[in-house]
Structure 1
Amino acid sequence: MLSQGGGGPLPPTPPAAGKSGGGRRKALVAGGVVGILALGGGAFAAYSWFSGTGPQPAEALPANTLGYLSLDLDPSGSQKIEAYNTLKKFPAIEQIFDEEGVEEGTDLRRKLLEEALAEDEECSLDYDEDIEPWLGERFAVAAISQGEDEDPAPVFVVQVSDGGAAEETFEKLNECSGDSGGAGWAIDDEWALVAETSEIAESAAEGAAEESLADDADFQKWTSAAGDAGIVQGYASPDVGKELADELAGLASMGSSMAEIPSAAEVSPAPTGDISECFELDPVAQSEEFQACIEAAEGAGATPEPTVPGLPEPDADAIAAIFEDFQGGAMNIRFADGSLEVEVAADGNLGKQYGLSPSEEGGAAVAALPADTMVAFGAGFEDGWGQSLIDYYSAFLGEEFDLEGQIEALESQTGLAIPEDVEALLGDSIAVGVSADIDFEGMSGPADAPVGARITGDPEETQRVLDKLLEQDPTGMVGEFLGTDSEGDVLAISPNEGYREELLGDGGLGDNEVYQDVVREDAASVFFVNFDAGDGVLDNLLESAGAPGEVRENAEPLSGLGFTGWLDDDDVAHSVFRMTTD
């Protein structure tokens, strides 16, 4: 880089005989240093643009923020590139880019605020004059704790480039609000905090100056656990659990008191009589005897006695115990590899304290479905999960709710032992699949439907429970849908014999490119849709639903979508929703 002339090497260094030669040498060295620094600075700037996200609203909020949801319209350079490359595949958005240019076409601030200003006839604010000069690219809404005796306060955060101009606009807005009182704010050169009162906003700003949400250890832990940041970020602090427990306890008391309120018919004068005998005369068929009985009863002044079913009173202490140990959670929405991705990380101990631990077998079960699977769902189960689920939900129902009686009634109706038979029925894992070969219009019966379930565990036990269910169907119609075959530890259920054979083998869905692009590894539960599995699958579905041509055209770039959930070794529950494009 430090060559001269036509690119040849530097000549030998002349003797240090004169002042001019030394000065020239120093100039060359200095120029080289400056050049290196310039190149390094440019590389650093490029890297910062590509990977950096700039200041975020979390820096303007106090560490005691309970909940937080932010929107970043100026994300990192990599995120901008991903967003542009993804969105440009959709004709409607590509047209905006081509006609208006990327910068103007993606200015959501203008598009949203100009519509809002046009609807507000009381204010004569102009976007270009009153808002655009100071409005930044990052926004957030948060709930700030105000102590045990006060409800959390909502606070809005807006990035500003000119605090003075922003304050002038807020004052105009307050003047427009008239008797409604307007809002309060606290503004510096970078952020504006808007709340119900100036006291709340200023208190939040002072708290952020002492310790910001961005510096809070819980915030850093959970937002990091939710993966790379993107355009939207959400956060729930550990204190949210306590707030939620208190709210649920209050609702429980309210529900209990409402259950004791009599209906209007019970408190107002009304003719009484027994009309219930009429309903023993087959009301479904509406026979002549039934109609005559009703008319006679009404002629005698009889009316059906209204009843208000009592609501079970939830156990407030049990509910509080479930949520009070909540450790927090976070969410990131981003563009990645031609897809839109939503990742959530949260405390995985809520269900685990009742034995509800997800099994990684769910993902393995779905991956073994046939490679041409269009829609799939799968889940894995730990031993004793059925009883754990009953224990978990019984805490919400309270002691007065006769859960055992309800289970006994269900056992009587189905002939099943609950939860033992339900656990045996679903095995260690279950995967349900729909083949892309399905022909909804050409099917003449259930046997033509390539739809079924792949259950891994003890096939004999699963078949035993299925036989119990079939005994409850004297018509035999259910049996047409529950044809079974087994091999090893796998039992296949499908009305289609050929599809049952496919289910018994390792069909190779896990090797499908769309599946690999959508589903995370080691999943406990999976939902997957492959829009590329069949010829025009998505277009046919949209057409049958009556979707206009424009919608169908913009859905064409979609290749797959999926939901994956798992629990890691640190008891953090992860879930990822991912929609991919071709």
Structure 2
Amino acid sequence: MSTPENLFEPPVRHTAPSEAAVPSGAAVPQEQPRPAGGRGRTIALVGGILAIVAVGAGGAVVFNQVSGGGAQPESVMPGTTIAFAKVDLDPAAGQKLDAIRFVRRFPAAEGKVKDDSDLREVIIKALEEDGQLKGIDYAKDIEPWLGQRIGVGAVPGADGSSKPTVVVALAVTDKGKAEASLPKLTDATGGACQVLEAYAVCTDTTKKLAGVVSATAKGTLADSTNFAKDMAELGEDGVAASWFDAGKADGLLGGASGGLFGAIPGSLMGASPSSTGGVGKGRVAVALRFDGPHLELAGHTSGGTTSFAGKATASSIEALPKDTLAAVTVANAGDQLKAGWPELEKGFKSMAGDQEFTDGLAQAQDALGIKLPDDLYAALGSQFSVAFGGLGADASDLKVAVVSNGDKAVLQKLADSAGELMGSVEPSGGGALTLKSAGDRTVVSLTDDYADEIASGSGLGDTAGFKEAVKDSGKAQIVGYVDIAGLLTAFKDEVPADEAKNLGALSALGFSVTGDGGSSDFSLRLTTK
């Protein structure tokens, strides 16, 4: 992911404190030269906290107490902030209880992180072990004043230029102790900090800090109409949340914002590509939160100029066999591809050249025996799925199938071409793929047996694993599902015993994307048994 140099990693600067740069009446911020090897310390701290939030082998999210409430870091970020993320180790009581329920399902977490563990200390100790924060004593210099929340934002214009400045907000429980300890902390990390309300706001230079403080006085991100609206529509903040204004960032970063969301199709974000190669328009808000013993990454996009094509939903995934191990269904895939083809063609031509693209398209048409892209639109139809059922009875046949309500004649041509290609690569095992009709659908599979299973089987949507993992499958345009427990059983001989023991707590992974006009919602859910 490419980003401008100053966006996520402040440059090394040796700037002396300047009282003249601080607004009248404000406390003089503390700033020290960044020591050798200190580049990116601020972001290392953020990364450490995010790493704690992410549940990995032996890692977990547990909270000290059940309280929640209080000021959020967006209350000390300027209203001009274009990107923002926060981690909340003191969320609502329900989130804390659900987090504990989630963690306790993993054997590897037993005894390593207790209910009363101080995650702030865990993070600081991890940074110290990495050779950072030298000379800092957590119990003496940090614990007495550091709260449970942290926010980081990208703020343009803080130093008079359009380049965004990284701003970090650390929750403060005791202002006096924080102001007494911050000079030592900035001496170890470089930068400048100033206590505003319930947070210590930090940047890498005094001049930038003064600009941030001044901008915040004119209006905060919390009071921003777009931010407040987007976060309200997103719902519960959970333990971590982020927000990004692609429209503003695209102009400031010269299209570099496209790198931030390049892996997310514009149609999923309700955004349109810009001439600079960035996202263009639209805003996205994301939250990591718990729902009972399950973990969900939820997102909401708005302000885009494009939307999903077609009227169908991806509910046909529910009709797949109940023992399906993994599947993804895209509704209106043909219409969606048709709507996005001009931009795809433009992108291909920019990478390969106009003539090369034209020649390549002609060669593909000859090889497949179809007209591109029109026949491809027809083949995809309004209900297109890919399903995986594991291995056959002798553990040698791969159970993979494509299911579509598209043009059967085109699907036959594609299957024949694919079979010929497979035969040329592996003559002993190649051959035409199997096609089987299943009502208004056509099943294309590697084997006759799995084609029959798909055509005659059903019930995936009625399984408990699917219902818990997939949100609003009947309304979504894209739905995906992975039966983690089923995969562990099917491939038990391939998974090391210690990994299988810890992964055994997981049930399934599901995702869904629902679009409506210029906005969309997406959900990625990891469920436990």
TM-score, normalised with respect to structure 1:
0.69
The answer to whether 1:111 aligns with 2:153 is no
Amino acid across the alignment from 1:145: P
After TM superposition, the structure 1 stretch with the greater mean CA deviation from structure 2, 393-402 or 367-376, is 393-402
CA apart distance, 1:578: 0.5
CA contact (8 A) 2:283 2:304 kept: no
Q: Deviation of residue 120 (structure 1)?
A: 4.0
Deviation at 1:523, TM superposition (A): 1.8
Query: Which residue in the other structure is 1:165 paired with?
Result: 177
Aligned match of 2:528: 581
Displacement of 1:139 after TM fit? 0.3
Backbone CA RMSD of aligned residues: 3.1
Question: Structure 1: how far apart are the matches of 2:216 and 2:154?
Answer: 14
Identity %: 24
* 1:349–1:416 Cα change, 3 Å: farther
The whole-number CA distance in structure 2 between the counterparts of 1:435 and 1:249 is 36
Asked if residue 552 in structure 1 is aligned to residue 504 in structure 2, the reply is no
Shift of 1:401: 3.6
Q: 1:359 Cα deviation (Å)?
A: 5.7
Partner amino acid, structure 1, of 2:358: E
Equivalent residue number for residue 96 of structure 1: 112
Higher relative contact order (CA closer than 8 Å, sequence separation 6+) = 2
* Match for residue 391 of structure 1 among 326, 329, 342: 342
Distance 1:244 1:409, change over 3 A: farther
- 1:455 pairs, out of 404, 421, 424, with 404
2:215 corresponds in structure 1 to 207
Matched position secondary structure for 2:471: coil
Q: Tell me which of 309, 312, 319 is aligned to 1:357.
A: 309
State the alpha-carbon separation in 2 of the partners of residues 134 and 211 from structure 1: 26
1:526 is the counterpart of 2:479: yes
| Secondary structure class of the residue paired with 2:71 | coil
Question: 2:448 is matched with which residue: 497, 516, 531?
Answer: 497
Aligned AA for 1:453? Answer: V
2:332 to 381, 387, 404: 381
Q: Of the two, which has the highest radius of gyration?
A: 1
Deviation digits for residues 338-369 of structure 1 (CA, Å, limit 9, x no counterpart): 111001212474654xxx637643x2221110
Query: What is the one-letter code of the residue matched to 1:337?
Result: G
Asked whether the 8 Å contact 1:375–1:528 carries over to 2, the reply is: yes
- Counterpart of 2:287 in structure 1 is 332
Q: Which whole-Å CA distance do the structure 2 matches of 1:532 and 1:118 have between them?
A: 36
Q: Is 1:343 matched up with 2:298?
A: yes
Shift in alpha-carbon separation, 1:108–1:359, aligned structure 2, 3 A? farther
**Counterpart of 1:184 in structure 2: which amino acid?**
A
Cα–Cα, structure 1 residues 117 and 459, in superposed 2: closer, same or farther, change >3 Å? same
In structure 2, distance between residues paired with 1:157 and 1:336: 27
Query: 2: distance between equivalents of 1:562 and 1:70?
Result: 25
The alpha carbon displacement at 1:322 in A equals: 6.9
Q: Deviation digits for residues 57-99 of structure 1, max 9, x if unmatched?
A: 00110110010010000000000011011111111223235xx
C-alpha distance after superposition, 1:212-243 (max 9, x if no partner): 11111111222223232100000002412323
Paired residue type of 1:504: A
Query: Structure 1 residue 567 and structure 2 residue 521: aligned?
Result: no
- Rate the CA distance shift 1:471–1:544 in 2: closer, same or farther, 3 A: closer
Measured in 1, the distance between the counterparts of 2:150 and 2:257 equals 30
Shift of 1:184: 1.2
Deviation, 1:468, is 4.9
* 3-state SS of 1:544 partner: coil
1:269 corresponds to? none
Structure 1 position 57 matched with structure 2 position 57: no
Native 8 Å contact 2:256 2:277 kept in 1: no
Residue 373 of structure 1 aligns to a residue whose secondary structure is coil
Go from structure 1 to structure 2 and tell me whether the alpha carbon gap of 1:406 and 1:350 turns closer, same or farther (over 3 Å shift): farther
Deviation at 1:553, TM superposition (A): 1.4
Out of 77, 99, 111, the residue aligned to residue 83 of structure 1 is 99
Alignment partner of 1:141 out of 141, 152, 162: 152
2:354 and 2:490 map into 1 onto residues whose CA distance is 47
Q: How many residues align?
A: 444
Cα separation, 2, equivalents of 1:471 and 1:92: 48
**Partners of 1:359 and 1:379 within 8 A in 2:** no
CA distance in 2, matches of 1:434, 1:466: 17
Answer yes or no: is 1:187 the counterpart of 2:195.
yes
The structural deviation recorded for 1:499 is 2.9
Match of 2:461 in 1: 510
Helix, strand or coil: the match of 1:102?
A: coil
Q: Note closer, same or farther for the CA distance 1:388–1:154 as it changes in structure 2 (3 Å cut).
A: same
Evaluate the alpha carbon distance shift between residue 244 and residue 513 of structure 1 in structure 2; reply closer, same or farther with a 3 A threshold. Answer: farther
Gaps of 5+ in 2: 1-64, 260-271
Give 3-state SS (helix, strand or coil) of 2:82's partner.
Answer: strand
Q: How does 1:160-559 map to 2 (within 5 A)?
A: 160-176=172-188, 182-237=190-245, 238-247=247-256, 319-320=274-275, 323=278, 325-347=280-302, 349=304, 352=307, 357=309, 360-361=312-313, 363-381=314-332, 383-396=334-347, 401-402=354-355, 403-435=357-389, 438-439=391-392, 442-444=394-396, 446=397, 449-470=398-419, 480=431, 482-505=433-456, 507-521=458-472, 522-533=475-486, 537-538=487-488, 541=491, 544-545=494-495, 547=496, 549-559=497-507
SS in 2 for 1:326: coil
Give the distance between the partners of 1:472 and 1:89, measured in 2 at CA: 46
Q: Which has the higher helix share?
A: 1
Given residue 103 of structure 2, which amino acid in structure 1 is its aligned partner? L
Alignment CA distance shift 1:53-1:431 (3 Å)? farther
C-alpha change, 1:246 and 1:191, in structure 2 (3 Å) is same
CA distance in 2, matches of 1:223, 1:539: 40
TM-score when scaled to structure 2?
Answer: 0.76
Q: For residues 415 and 340 of structure 1, what CA distance do their matches in structure 2 show?
A: 46
Q: Distance in 2 between matches of 1:52 and 1:160?
A: 15
Q: Distance in 2 between matches of 1:472 and 1:202?
A: 65
Cα distance in 2 for residues equivalent to 1:336 and 1:526:
19
Residue 128 (structure 1) aligned to one of 135, 139, 151: 139
Kept in 1: contact 2:367–2:417 (CA 8 A): no
Q: 3-state DSSP class of the match of 2:163?
A: coil
Task: Write out per-residue CA displacement over residues 297-332 of structure 1, whole angstroms, 9 at most, x where no aligned residue.
Answer: xxxxxxxxxxxxxxxxxxxx9743775751211100
Cα distance, 1:540 vs structure 2? 6.0
